[in-house]
């Protein structure tokens, strides 16, 4: 088995372990047991738990980016693409491992410039995707051209806030409600005519 295959197995095992145990209780042993490796062997690939978490986040985000590159171009309208974006961005429900991982790594960025550079880069990729989607909609006449230039960044901040409520299982703000709010604000800013997407 090659280095890339081992790396892929370790990263998937890390994500599975996060889903099962949560980040607080995650141990290198939990990851190693899933792939038949000792904690020391895992450390051969990743020098620390933080390095493993950072690489797992990169890998998870790359998979989402690859998926978007394949699926978005086949959605014919800008509103359909925006529906897709909201759906894939917001957590599916409380405890989604990809989102828990993102929050943990993002928090580490306050103390580590290397981590902050990674999270800033990943966030910029989401913002670029959304900005391109908005330009596509303006070009097709689906979105109003007067949409604020900084709307993509502001909208991501809104989605992040809604996501926290979904993750924490806030009774009055579950995923369905978060989707409705996200769509309503986008519709008001961009001039969308359709109703909200299904949660």
Closest CA to 130 of 111, 149, 102: 149
Contact residues for 138 (Cβ-Cβ < 8 A; gap 6+): 144, 145, 147
Res 105: pLDDT: 87
Q: How many residues does the chain have?
A: 199
Co-location of 102 and 140 in the same domain: yes
**Distance between CA atoms of residues 42 and 63, nearest Å:** 22
Res 111: pLDDT: 86
Structural domain range at position 152? 57-190
Closest CA to 129 of 180, 182, 187, 71: 71
**Residue 199 located in a structural domain:** no
Co-location of 77 and 142 in the same domain: yes
Res 181: pLDDT: 95
**Residue 24 located in a structural domain:** yes
Q: pLDDT in tens for each of the 199 residues of the chain?
A: 445 678 888 898 888 888 887 777 788 888 888 888 887 888 888 888 888 888 899 999 999 999 998 999 999 999 999 999 999 999 998 888 889 889 888 888 888 888 899 999 999 999 999 999 999 999 999 998 776 678 999 999 999 999 999 999 888 899 999 999 999 999 988 987 665 554 4
Co-location of 70 and 146 in the same domain: yes
Phi-psi domain of 141 (left: phi exceeds 0; alpha: psi -120 through 50; beta: other): left
**Residue 196 located in a structural domain:** no
Co-location of 35 and 113 in the same domain: no
Res 126: pLDDT: 95
CATH number at residue 177: 1.10.357.10
Closest CA to 90 of 23, 13, 160: 160
DSSP three-state, residue 65: helix
**Residue 86 located in a structural domain:** yes
Res 146: pLDDT: 73
Res 199: pLDDT: 47
Res 194: pLDDT: 61
Total domain count, the chain: 2
**Residue 197 located in a structural domain:** no
Co-location of 86 and 32 in the same domain: no
Co-location of 30 and 72 in the same domain: no
**Distance between CA atoms of residues 30 and 188, nearest Å:** 46
Co-location of 16 and 105 in the same domain: no
């Amino acid at each position: 088995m090659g280095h890339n295959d081992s790396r892929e197995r370790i990263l998937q095992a890390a994500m599975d372990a996060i889903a099962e145990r949560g980040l607080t209780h995650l141990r290198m042993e939990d990851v190693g047991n899933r792939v038949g490796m000792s904690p020391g062997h895992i450390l051969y690939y990743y020098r620390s738990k933080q390095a493993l978490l950072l690489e797992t986040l990169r890998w998870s985000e790359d998979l989402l980016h690859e998926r978007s590159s394949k699926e978005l171009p086949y959605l014919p309208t800008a509103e359909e693409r925006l529906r897709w974006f909201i759906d894939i961005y917001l957590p599916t429900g409380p405890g989604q491992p990809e989102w828990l991982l993102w929050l943990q790594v993002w928090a580490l960025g306050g103390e580590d410039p290397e981590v902050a550079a990674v999270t800033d880069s990943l966030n910029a990729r989401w913002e670029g995707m959304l900005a391109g989607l908005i330009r596509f909609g303006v070009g097709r006449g689906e979105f109003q051209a007067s949409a604020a230039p900084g709307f993509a960044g502001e909208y991501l901040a809104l989605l992040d806030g809604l996501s926290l409520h979904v993750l924490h299982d806030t009774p009055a703000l579950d995923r369905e409600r978060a989707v409705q709010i996200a769509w309503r604000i986008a519709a008001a800013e961009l001039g969308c005519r359709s109703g909200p997407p299904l949660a």
